[in-house]
Chains A and B, each alone.
Chain A
Amino acid sequence: KAGVTQTPRYLIKTRGQQVTLSCSPISGHRSVSWYQQTPGQGLQFLFEYFSETQRNKGNFPGRFSGRQFSNSRSEMNVSTLELGDSALYLCASTRTGELFFGEGSRLTVL
């Protein structure tokens, strides 16, 4: 079966812009989590959605937001981009506690 699909894979933005990233989970998975991966901080949890509801949120500013649709697909949005937002954004889906990760969206902020 298809894995977790993230789009776009690569994108370049400038400071002050906003960005929307998309994640399609594995079929049947209703929980989607987002992580930010950077060389210095490793993998940091952003938020988790289950059945269109945000169930958990990490310690990120309000510029980071997300949502989940009725088909379990999820989007995350970052507004007013800063240089420090440059990172690999990973989405993961789960049904039984084991997370399956997508290949990520690599965001570069100039």
Chain B
Amino acid sequence: AQSVSQHNHHVILSEAASLELGCNYSYGGTVNLFWYVQYPGQHLQLLLKYFSGDPLVKGIKGFEAEFIKSKFSFNLRKPSVQWSDTAEYFCAVIFLSGYSTLTFGKGTMLLVSP
């Protein structure tokens, strides 16, 4: 079955540390890739997305992600995190076969200490 894996369930960082959250998916075909963020008490918001083209995607709030097709990965990065980045981060994939739905990873809870 098509699935999305996020390797870290919880990540704790100090402010100014660099962040990398892993995301892998199991599917050899064409995909659309997303990272969503859910701040405490708020709704899911799109951080960035990849449909095609440059595999290095820049999103909001200084986040970026790199699509590596050979590794089925779409890792999220930020050079220097802030306390306000404390949130849960979800990787999501649309597997483009017929009518496809958005499949989410189980999320990574990021806690940034000031």
Please give the residue numbers on chain A whose beta carbons come within 8 Å of chain B beta carbons, in ascending order: 3, 33, 35, 41-45, 48, 55-56, 58, 90, 92, 97-104
Contacts and interface: CB of A to CB of B under 8 A. Distances in A.
Query: Interface residue tally of chain B, by bracket?
Result: 20 to 34
Given A42-B105, A44-B104, 11 more contacts: A43-B90, A45-B101, A48-B99, A56-B100, A92-B102, A97-B51, A101-B43, A101-B44, A101-B45, A103-B43, A104-B43
A98 B90 contact: no
A43, A44, A55, A102, most chain B CB atoms within 10 A: A43
27 contacts: A33-B102, A35-B104, A41-B106, A42-B105, A43-B92, A43-B107, A44-B104, A45-B101, A45-B103, A45-B104, A48-B99, A48-B101, A56-B99, A56-B101, A90-B43, A92-B44, A92-B102, A97-B51, A97-B94, A98-B34, A98-B46, A98-B49, A99-B102, A101-B36, A101-B43, A101-B44, A103-B43
Question: Mostly helix, strand, loop or mixed at chain A's interface?
Answer: strand
Contacts of A102: 43
Contacts of B36: 101
Contacts of A101: 36, 43-45
Nearest to B98: A56
Contact of B32 (A33, A92, A97): A97
B8 to A, nearest CB: 13
A25 B107 CA distance: 24
